[in-house]
Structure 1
Amino acid sequence: MAAVLVFHLYPRKGADRVRHALDWSACTEIDEQDGVRLDYARRWGDVREQDLLVCQNLGPHVYYVRFGSVDARSAALRREPPKEPACVYRSAELVVFTDVSRAERRRTCSDLNGTLR
């Protein structure tokens, strides 16, 4: 009997880390759309990275955003808070959940060592 171990050689970052924290085992495909900005996020300043992760084009999705600083994230959330539940984590990152179950939001945010808002 042979065993194969696969190691990820570098720490996951950004949208890739979020993608692997999600438990979307029911999705046959997860579409990643780089640079997409949701309507309410258009006024957010100092956005360095943003990606939309969508389960099979029409399923639940998450919006990943990395700001240039914690202050920029705080100002953006005061100016235009997300309309959906969000997870704040790391120094300046945010994940907004749309059509994602409460249990999955809690588990994912916990895996990211974040705080739900």
Structure 2
Amino acid sequence: MVNLTQHPATPEQLAAGVVDLGGPDLLELKELLTFDSLPSAKEVQARAWAISDIAADAGATEAMIGGAPYLMAPLERILQSRGIAVFYAFSVRETEEQTLPDGSVRKTAVFRHAGFVGRRGRHGNHGV
């Protein structure tokens, strides 16, 4: 499962079979996922096709996607039209507490990978 998000896969996602892109493909993906101004529908569609090209060129049959909601719907449709199953990461929020030397408590929210939501259920928890 190729990682088509801006963020590196977590250790749990890597263990589940997610593969991060590298080099020029990763740089291109990050550019395509970043919008610095209001995009037209045509630009969103073109970027979705370009991202799907990266996945296809990588030989992907499955992709983990996430990012701007207005890009995800067309990207999902295009990937599926190319035979690439689409998955979204699912995480649970856990709160961790740490007692500091002065006796105060620091609370930190940690998001732990808990599966994927997608069209095929081979990867942990799934739906849709």
Common fold by TM > 0.5: no
Larger Rg computed on CA atoms: 2
Structure 1 length-normalised TM? 0.32
